[in-house]
Amino acid sequence: MYNLVSLGFDNWFNDKVDLSKTNFNMVRVIIVNKNSFVVSNGVKDIYAELTGKFLFNSEDSLDMPAVGDWVYAQLFDDDELAIIHDILPRKSLLKRKASGKKVEFQLIAANIDTAIIMQSLDSNFNLRRLERYLVMINEGKITPAIFLSKSDLISGDEIEEKKNDIRKILADVSIVSFSNNNQSEIENIKTFFEPFKTYCLLGSSGVGKTTLLNNLIHQELYKTQPIREKDGRGKHTTTRRELIVLENGAIIIDNPGMRELGVISNESGLGDTFNEIDELSDQCKYKDCTHTVETDCAVLEAVERGEISEERYNNYIKIYKESLYNEMSYVEKRQKDKKFGKFFHSTMKDVKKMKGR
Ligand SMILES: Nc1nc2c(ncn2[C@@H]2O[C@H](COP(=O)(O)OP(=O)(O)OP(=O)(O)O)[C@@H](O)[C@H]2O)c(=O)[nH]1
Ligand SMILES: [Mg+2]
Ligand SMILES: [Zn+2]
């Protein structure tokens, strides 16, 4: 049990355990591959696959295990192989629209306490992109934090200016600026992370997420144990590990940078991110006001008075429209898929392909 606690298992999850499944082992997903997984029981990393029944009952990408999920598994071969039977209910979920034309969710990570948006202080710094990440994080009911990297590239005054710009759109958030080249700043960042909490690093490619993780852990901890892959080539070691545990017990999930961040916000993600717009909309003349062409629109009036910046308003409208479109397409697709059981069949095809390799 202690081993699971060291991976973030707490009372919230303990209360969710299905007592009819106590013959299974509880393990946490640390890597998701296309058709296989790596899980950890807090002692070792274990290659894992899903049961056929699991696949059969999955209707949607949302039903599949994500990095950070707790799952019920059966262990075989001296804990070298795990078969995943079910997912424990999630405390939180970070998801985005899969890139390209596909209307499907892509799961980024599950059971995150704090999601860290990282932007580098050079050309990557962008408030509109920050808002986009915030919609996704708020939608997942996760606490955001902001890390500004590459502080070695700009002056202290410029850094303060950028922090103030963020505070104008988001008053209560931790903002940490640092350079990966500055050891004392790295030491300072360590105090940000709390033991047994799960964090997730988000941000464009090249902002320094993986560099920070490598700086936070000792190199020898980063090395992973041999993972058995059922591909006939025997054991080999993964070089990639998405979930790591810091010396103080904090758990961090690294993510590759995402080129596009399509959002689907049907809960409160958009309203929580643009909360002043959300509040003003109560004062619009029409209940279903879209804040674009209507008369007596409190939002448009606030933009006119300069209380809401045009850039922020435009970004709100852009994300709102995109999210609405994505959500409608998603609902439509779900109805079609349900009719034809398409998700199961396409997934099974992938699995057969893999097994036949
Ligand atoms: N000047 C400067 N360079 C940095 C800093 N942090 C990272 N870099 C450099 O930025 C480049 C990208 O760093 P990564 O850590 O791979 O970026 P990442 O966010 O993990 O990128 P993806 O994995 O592609 O999403 C590397 O060449 C780093 O050496 C920093 O604080 N200052
Ligand atoms: Mg990286
Ligand atoms: Zn309005």
Q: In this structure, what CATH number is given to the domain that contains residue 11?
A: 2.40.50.140
Q: What is the mean pLDDT of the chain?
A: 87
CB 244 within 8 A of CB 67: no
Same domain, yes or no: 229 and 281: no
- 2-14 pLDDT, tens per residue? 689 999 999 999 9
CA 15 to chain centre: 23
**Number of domain units in the chain:** 3
Query: Is the domain of 244 the same as that of 118?
Result: yes
**Strand pairing class (114-120; 37-40):** unpaired
One domain, residues 51 and 120 = no
Q: Which of 90, 123, 143 is the last residue of a domain?
A: 90
- The CB of 182 under 6 Å from ligand 1? The reply is no
> Ligand 3 mean position to 222 CA, how many Å?
51
317/250 Cα distance (integer angstroms): 37
The answer to whether residue 68 is domain-embedded is yes
Question: Considering 75, 90, 105, which residue would you say is the last residue of a domain?
Answer: 90
Per the DSSP assignment, residues forming a β-bridge with 74 are 83
Q: Pick the last residue of a domain from 44, 59, 90.
A: 90
Same domain for 205 and 66, yes or no, is no
Asked whether residue 237 falls in the same domain as residue 306, the answer is no
Residue 352: inside a domain, yes or no? no
| Helices first, then strands: H and E counts in the chain | 13, 15
Average pLDDT in the 46-72 region?
Answer: 92
- Please check whether residues 245 and 342 belong to one and the same domain: no
Neighbours of ion ligand 2 (CB under 5 A): 209-210
State the sign of the Cα–Cα–Cα–Cα dihedral 268, 270, 274, 276. negative
Looking at the fold, whether 97 and 74 belong to one and the same domain comes out as no
pLDDT at 227 over 90: no
Following DSSP, what letter does each residue of 267-298 receive, concatenated? Answer: SSHHHHHTHHHHHHGGGSSSTT--SSS-TT-H
Cα–Cα distance between 139 and 271 in angstroms, integer? 9
How many angstroms is it from 266 CA to the middle of ligand 2?
A: 29
pLDDT tens per residue, range 312-330: 999 999 999 988 888 888 7
pLDDT at 351 over 80: no
Question: Which atom of ligand 1 is nearest the CA belonging to 254?
Answer: 20
Q: Verify that 131 and 57 share a domain, yes or no.
A: no
User: Which domain range does residue 143 map to?
Assistant: 93-253
28 CB less than 6 Å from ligand 1? no
HEC string of 15-59?
HHCCHHHCCCEEEEEEEECCCCEEEECCCCEEEEEECHHHHHHCC
Q: Are residues 50 and 84 in the same domain?
A: yes
Whole-angstrom distance, CA of residue 233 vs CA of residue 240: 18
Residue 41 in this model has a pLDDT that exceeds 60: yes
Q: Indicate if 7 and 23 belong to the same structural domain.
A: yes
243 in a domain, yes or no?
yes
230 plus 279 within the same structural domain: no
The tally of CA atoms less than 13 A away on the side-chain side of residue 248 is 13
The bound ligand whose nearest atom lies closest to the alpha carbon of 152 is: 1
24: pLDDT strictly greater than 50: yes
Q: Are residues 108 and 198 in the same domain?
A: yes
Task: Find the CATH number of the domain harbouring 101.
Answer: 3.40.50.300
Instruction: Indicate which atom in ligand 1 lies nearest the CA of residue 204.
Output: 25
